[in-house]
Structure 1
């Protein structure tokens, strides 16, 4: 499976701070729960990568 492989799968994504000063991405899909904790600096890098990907996708959609 690659980033371009489409799947008919529904998932819930929650993002928020933990009481330990981490940023948690919590993914739930069916019976599977994946909590992913990141240092704030790592979360900022992830946010920048998401913004870059969104901008690239928007440019491709305009073509």
Structure 2
């Protein structure tokens, strides 16, 4: 499966700080629980990658669903 493959799998996503000073991305669905902890600098890098990907997606697909562009 690649990043462009569509799927019907659903999952919940939670993001927040841990009591140990890490940032946790927690994915749960279909009997799987996946906690991923990152130090704050890594979390900043991930956030930047998300921003860049969102900008690229806007350029490829037009206005996001639910918004008038």
State the TM-score, normalizing by the size of structure 2.
0.87
Work out whether 1:56 is the aligned partner of 2:56: yes
Deviation at 1:61, TM superposition (A): 1.3
Report which structure shows greater RCO (CA 8 Å, sep ≥6): 1
Give CA-to-partner distance per residue, 1:22-41, whole Å, 9 cap, x none: 00000001211000000000
Q: Report 1:29-44 matches (<5 A).
A: 29-44=29-44
> 2:24 & 2:57 partners in 1: Cα distance?
25
Give CA-to-partner distance per residue, 1:30-55, whole Å, 9 cap, x none: 21100000000000000000010000
Q: Which has the higher helix share?
A: 1
Structure 1 unmatched ranges of 5 or more: none
Structure 2 unmatched ranges of 5 or more: 63-69
- Runs of 4+ aligned structure 1 residues displaced above 4 Å come to none
Computed over aligned residues only, the root mean square deviation of the Cα atoms, in angstroms, reads 0.6
**Which residue matches 1:27?**
27
